[in-house]
Chains A and B, each alone.
Chain A
């Protein structure tokens, strides 16, 4: 069962975490070290998943037979099999030979893709219904709140989670909002059913991200609250925070050096400056520790930033402090600097066609993602919307076809990578999910047809080999919130899902 393998990983990662000095990212893996070429760590050998119930009888697994398989690796099989054993893909290919007692599921006529990954969601922190009691996404106590963590505001009962899953989303990054220049740590979750707390939903191998924001939002929120008032103030404030982090690291280094000298001093000798005991550590500051982690490459920076000029400035700032922006978010003007994004190794998480709702979004175009791909940058289609997240395939389709019409040759595989492999990379989990390859976690979506058609629906979703959604079996609402409410409003709900 999932719980067993997850419990094992939890143990393994908790053991690793005890060695780390990071309070805020317990049980988290590491991002790829040097973007964009190095993959994230793969999971270590897995425990047996024998006895996994319907999905995996006694270790022989399940063969999804005969679907069109879009792997997001550059290969699209017109008709192939996927052999899932336990939580991972054992093999994929044409007429693969699975163990004789593997369960065979006929999916001919369907299309299978990797589970969709959304780099930008506020599900759980801005829940539905949007009650005032549910607004847990923006810690608007000040323009920099690097100490805040999305996971602490995540409500696993949000009815939006099950809808995202029914749209084929298996992994999503939950971000703090964009009111603050530095909003806090993100949490990457899987859309597992039955989560009672964020830890039940957490994608344990995913490193945390840091949410940052440029531009209009911080100015608007803080202009009457002590600033920043201008873009000058935005950048100056961010720079000052990273400078503090540099000095914070320095004070810890001084401490560690001192401690080392103390530990290696001759017996009975005094320490530095005649100290009689070991040195005191500096006061811990969780905000600066977060930024120090960014500088050390342990946290991935996700930067809400619309305009080309501002993204350029942020890349310069990052270069100054020795880190990279892992992904710009929204990035409606990314197409204007696609070459620079490619060179920096920054992904751009964009919408297909949102534009004009504010000045920095005025130049949005549907060809944005395609032009990024054409320049060799990493394009991602993200949602930032609990409606959009349910049809990211359609959003990618609009962007893909707009690109093709403009003469950019975007393959179906490339457009699929906008939803799978590329966001997996941005979240530092590309060694684990994002493609259909042997060894990857079996996060899979079975579609009724071409995922780039408006008429295609998600029929089944698997997370780590476990069936977590089946359009034919949709039953009572999953969130406690809708239970007993929605059946009244929707007596024949069964037909209605998703």
Chain B
């Protein structure tokens, strides 16, 4: 249902969506003609944020800059005198405070889970006995009414790579913006990546797991080239269901990445080989021992998404876990992302994780990129996300200053150019119980 809605919206967008009021502002950069508009690109609202210290997300900082937003897109970014919005735009003067790109939550089941232990509220996984579930499409299960969306959005998380779990190949990742309640448009783009897990996710052995992954990619290629034969039942047996193989074809063609959770150095090197041998795009998640094979990852242009606070040898794949993993990977030239892994409810703490990475040696600019730009690149979404750049989606967060300091949460968040109310189910609960005197108390009579 939702998927159909998205497709319809996308089709409409290709026909005639126009961003903004072109007469009132400089034209946005030209987009490639074959590029689809995102389904929500229809708004006409205008916003001018002035006197911001703009941390673009790619390492550059613009002091006292203005950001002009039209609809859901950033129209222009630059010195105040060069960016105007015309009459009728909402104006926000940040008075020198910081404006950063909204954080991206990578590899999270956000939107697929409401209450972790309640299966009836969890759509993170296709629970079958098959290890290859690439056809499982997270996009159609994303729950726009989830309380987690608002809770994390007001703390600066504006997009998420919604990721299924389980099996060896878990399924397809959906890109969402944290637009709470937007049932038709919360999914910005479905099927942006396929997610997988190494380790012992098949056959009780990591060797079996790697062999199975390799065989699966072979069969995906085989199936792709012989679909007609398959339909005539003139095909050999396949390792997985054709729908699950079909979902891997864009990975084989290098159109979308294979995002793989892996921790042990040997698994990371196996992924380096996989990327090289098959010419596919690989992103690793976890990468606990990444520091030990950082040069190989860098050479293979593999992005590593790590969680800096994870420094325990929780299992033997994670011996040598260290908080400066991000710093070491970065120093070796690896593109580093930072995430709160195995987590949906508190992906907001990605800012704290970035702070921990900085405290353990990651340069500050690299840390901001690691929660914005680098993740957008990793998931192939950087044409639309990850930096405060004209033409990109206006997912923005204003802070008094350093967004990673524990004292700071955003003073204001914009998602797709819309001003967030900065309320969530949690702020509502807080406000309800701030004054306890209004509640019944069965003992009160006795005490009087």
Contact = CB atoms under 8 A, between A and B. Distances in A.
Do A and B pair up? The answer is yes
Interface of A: 128-131, 159-160, 163, 216, 220, 335-340, 353-359, 362-367, 371, 375, 386-387, 390-391, 394, 397-398, 401, 405-406, 452-457, 481-482, 485-486, 488-490, 493, 495-496, 498
B345 A366 contact: no
B313 A391 contact: no
| Chain A CB within 10 A, most for which of B118, B313, B344 | B313
B352 interface: yes
Contact of A129 (B313, B352, B359): B313
B117 A359 contact: yes
Interface string B416-429: 00000000001101
B interface residue count range (under 10 / 10 to 19 / 20 to 34 / 35 or more)? 35 or more
B17 interface: no
Given A339-B436, A358-B115, A454 B359 contact: yes
Nearest to B116: A357
B319 interface: yes
Q: Which 3 A-B pairs have the closest CB atoms?
A: A489-B320, A454-B355, A358-B117
Nearest to A490: B320
B116 A496 contact: no
Nearest to A386: B312
B116 A338 contact: no
B267 to A, nearest CB: 14
Contacts of B441: 339-340
B446 interface: no
Interface in B277-293: 289, 291-292
B426 A454 contact: no
B346 A454 contact: no
B314 interface: yes
B114 A356 contact: yes
12 contacts: A128-B312, A353-B348, A365-B427, A367-B430, A371-B434, A387-B311, A401-B406, A455-B405, A482-B313, A486-B320, A490-B319, A498-B323
Given A353-B349, A354-B346, A485 B319 contact: yes
A486 B116 contact: no
B143 to A, nearest CB: 13
B219 interface: no
B366 interface: no
B345 A355 contact: yes
A128 B358 CA distance: 25
Contacts of A366: 426
**B interface SS class:** loop
B424 to A, nearest CB: 9
B430 A163 contact: no
A366 B162 CA distance: 24
Contact of A365 (B116, B315, B406, B426): B426
Nearest to B115: A359
Contacts of B291: 490
A453 B348 CA distance: 17
Contact of B406 (A337, A359, A397): A397
Contacts of B345: 354-357
Contacts of A339: 436, 441
B324 A496 contact: yes
Given A129-B315, A398-B352, A358 B359 contact: no
A353 B152 CA distance: 12
| Chain A CB within 10 A, most for which of B291, B311, B358 | B311
Contacts of A353: 346, 348-349
Contacts of B405: 453-455
B379 interface: no
A454 B406 contact: yes
B406 A398 contact: yes
B352 A338 contact: no
B419 to A, nearest CB: 19
B311 A454 contact: no
A406 B430 contact: yes
Interface string B75-109: 00000000000000000000000000000000000
Contacts of B174: none
Contacts of A387: 309-312
B407 interface: yes
Contacts of B352: 394, 398, 454
Nearest to A357: B116
Interface in B366-425: 404-409
Contacts of B427: 365
B115 A356 contact: yes
A495 B309 contact: no
A489 B117 contact: no
A496 B312 contact: no
Contacts of B355: 454-455
A129 B316 contact: yes
Given A387-B310, A452-B407, A455-B359, A359 B323 contact: no
A163 B115 contact: no
Contacts of B434: 371, 406
Nearest to B353: A454
A198 to B, nearest CB: 21
Contact of B319 (A160, A454, A456, A489): A489
Interface string B270-282: 0000000000000
Interface string B308-352: 011111111011101110000000000000000000111011001
A163 B312 CA distance: 8
B356 A454 contact: yes
Nearest to B356: A454
A291 to B, nearest CB: 26
Contacts of B319: 482, 485-486, 488-490
Contacts of B323: 496, 498
A338 B359 contact: no
A489 B292 contact: yes
B448 to A, nearest CB: 14
A336 B359 CA distance: 36
Given A490-B322, A496-B322, A128 B346 contact: no
A353 B343 CA distance: 13
B311 A336 contact: no
A486 B311 CA distance: 12
A143 to B, nearest CB: 18
Interface in B136-150: 147-148
Contact of A390 (B115, B311, B344, B349): B311
A387 B321 CA distance: 12
B253 to A, nearest CB: 36
Contacts of A129: 313-316, 318
Contacts of B408: 401
A372 B352 CA distance: 24
Contact of B433 (A160, A335, A454): A335
A366 B425 CA distance: 12
Contacts of A128: 312-314
Given A338-B436, A356-B345, A455-B359, A405 B312 contact: no
A160 B320 contact: no
Nearest to A403: B430
Contacts of A336: 433, 436
A354 to B, nearest CB: 7
A402 to B, nearest CB: 8
Contacts of B314: 128-130
Contacts of B429: 363, 365
A336 B429 CA distance: 9
A353 B310 CA distance: 18
Interface in B110-161: 114-118, 147-148
Contact of A401 (B292, B313, B356, B407): B407
Contacts of A495: 324
B344 to A, nearest CB: 8
A391 B309 contact: yes
B407 A457 contact: no
A363 B431 CA distance: 12
Contacts of A397: 406-407
B148 A356 contact: yes
Contacts of A453: 405-406
B406 A457 contact: no
